[in-house]
Amino acid sequence: MSSPVVMIDKLAFGGNGICRIDGKVCFVPLSCPGDQVRLAVTAEKRSYLTARIIELITPSPLRVVPPCPLFGICGGCNWQHIAYSHQSTAKRDIHAETLWRGGRVEGERVGETAASPLEYGYRNRVQFKLHAGTGGLKIGFFRNATHVVENAVQGCPIALPAINSALSSLRVALASFPEPAAITQINIECGAQETVATIKYIGKNYDAVARFFQERFCELPPLSGIFLQAGHKSNLQKLCGDGYLAYPMPAAVPGSPPTTLVFRPGGFSQVNSPQNLVILGLVRRMAEFRGHEDLLDLYCGNGNFSLPLAKSVASVTGLEGYRDSIAAAQDNCRLNGVTNAEYVCADAAEGVARLAAAGRRFSTVILDPPRAGAAEAIPDLSRLNAEKIIYISCDSSTLARDCGLLAGHGYRVAESVPVDMFPQTFHVESVTLLHRG
């Protein structure tokens, strides 16, 4: 095939631009709607093509200059070259199209994207990969579709400034670390005030590693805590400083103090704190609590959504499979004086089945499953007779599938609101309200 010249029409789920070549859909990475480009086809399948740009003939007016020197190389961001206003529009369109194709949800039920107030510097949790070679220690991210570490010398532009400052301090300290090849990853997480690093170590000299970081802790601002991970995350060992991270969530009752939530390093937390508040606001609006409801929170984490709502309902039951997150949720109950909430460590599907078998009923269910969705829990979830299900999703395709499954149990989508939790990427969070009947 020759090198065709085409116009990029729109963006697709997965982040690529779309055009047509000889009637076939073609996916083009790092393209922008409105670009006129010359392409080289890289793969031809039965129903679609993939191609790369070999010449940008006329740039789209939606194109901007990416601020990150690793953009297009690192496997993280894929939309830094697109004006943020169009990113929000594209996410709404992609979300709506995905819900229609996978769940037959009408487009008019999809709201406008709740844009992030921070286009950069929003991410409060980042994993940095490490590689020690002849060229020195590299700390950064995997090159796209490889396990080759690209050195993020300037840090990451979508990370909170505190994370990049901590990374800079760690670079200096690790220059004298005796086993650089034995540290494969560093996680840095932020609460409202705290910044904690988790060092993933695959060597055998645990005591020596602990002493190394303990002796240099005062030289590692703004870190407020350091953990060592040897193997699975359940084996975290606190080396120094804070053991928790904390953040506030608005009170359910106007005039009351905010709910303070803590979580442990390695536990799940939403990566964009301002947008976490937006999601909570959407949940409150959709739920319309009157004070008598029994609320079930599936995949509840540390109680991120249900604890701030606890004083608006009669009772809260939370299910989560990760034990440390349940421990944090129970701590959060004590910390905030919440006495009408119970948090149980259980697989979501198994836990829902037990609740249904015990005859439990809930007027409202909130679920915030991982990217794989909640398909396994849905058959027994329908037996709980909830009037409303509020589904918080980080993947439109599994949400669409699950909306289709819930439709088979009598639930219909009333509205779905995309929330841009991940600017500069194609990923989109959403909050969807389903009614029974």
Per-residue model confidence as pLDDT tens digits over 89-100: 999 999 999 999
Closest CA to 180 of 134, 238, 234, 247: 134
**Same structural domain for residues 301 and 391?**
yes
Sheet order of strands, 364-367 included: 341-345, 315-320, 294-298, 364-367, 388-393, 429-436, 411-419
Angle at Cα 97 formed by Cα 93 and Cα 101, nearest 5°?
175
User: pLDDT higher for 76 or 156?
Assistant: 156
**Same structural domain for residues 111 and 136?**
no
**Same structural domain for residues 275 and 176?**
no
- Per-residue pLDDT averaged across 144-155, rounded? 94
Q: What is the pLDDT of residue 254?
A: 75
- Per-residue pLDDT averaged across 405-411, rounded? 97
Distance CA(116)–CA(122), nearest Å, equals: 9
Q: What is the pLDDT of residue 2?
A: 76
Q: What is the pLDDT of residue 233?
A: 60
What is the per-residue pLDDT across 41-72, written as a single tens digit (0 to 9) for each?
Answer: 999 999 999 999 999 999 999 999 999 999 99
Q: What is the pLDDT of residue 51?
A: 97
**Same structural domain for residues 99 and 140?**
no
Q: What is the pLDDT of residue 257?
A: 86
Q: What is the pLDDT of residue 75?
A: 84
**Same structural domain for residues 251 and 239?**
no
Q: Is residue 75 part of a domain?
A: no
What is the per-residue pLDDT across 275-302, written as a single tens digit (0 to 9) for each?
Answer: 999 999 999 999 999 999 999 999 999 9
**Same structural domain for residues 253 and 386?**
yes
Closest CA to 127 of 184, 210, 180, 202: 184
Share of the chain above pLDDT 70, in %: 99
SS3 call for 133: strand
Share of the chain above pLDDT 90, in %: 92
Written as six digits, the tokens of 81 are: 């070259």
**Same structural domain for residues 45 and 186?**
no
**Same structural domain for residues 261 and 398?**
yes
Indicate whether 242 pLDDT > 90. Answer: no
Domain count, the chain: 3
Peptide bond preceding 222: is omega within 30 degrees of 0, i.e. cis?
yes
Angle at Cα 48 formed by Cα 46 and Cα 52, nearest 5°?
130
Specify the pTM. Answer: 0.94
SS3 call for 315: strand
* CATH code: domain of residue 25: 2.40.50.140
User: pLDDT higher for 281 or 266?
Assistant: 281
Distance CA(271)–CA(273), nearest Å, equals: 6
* CATH code: domain of residue 164: 2.40.50.1070
**CB burial readout 32-54, b (16+ within 10 A) else e:** bbbbebebebeeeeeeebbbebe
Over the chain, what is the mean pLDDT? 95
Written as six digits, the tokens of 198 are: 């988790």
Q: Please, which pLDDT band fits residue 234 given cuts at 50, 70 and 90?
A: low
Residue 107 main-chain phi, psi, to 5 deg: -60, -30
Indicate whether 256 pLDDT > 90. Answer: no
Q: Please, which pLDDT band fits residue 323 given cuts at 50, 70 and 90?
A: very high
SS3 call for 19: strand
**Same structural domain for residues 382 and 397?**
yes
**Same structural domain for residues 220 and 258?**
no
- Give me the active site residues, please: 394
Task: Give the number of other Cβ atoms within 10 Å of residue 185's Cβ.
Answer: 15
Identify whether the C-beta of residue 6 lies closer than 8 Å to the C-beta of residue 26.
yes
Identify whether the C-beta of residue 370 lies closer than 8 Å to the C-beta of residue 399.
no
Q: Which domain holds residue 59?
A: 5-63
Beta strands, E only, 22-124? 24-28, 36-44, 48-58
Indicate whether 232 pLDDT > 80. Answer: no
User: pLDDT higher for 250 or 234?
Assistant: 250
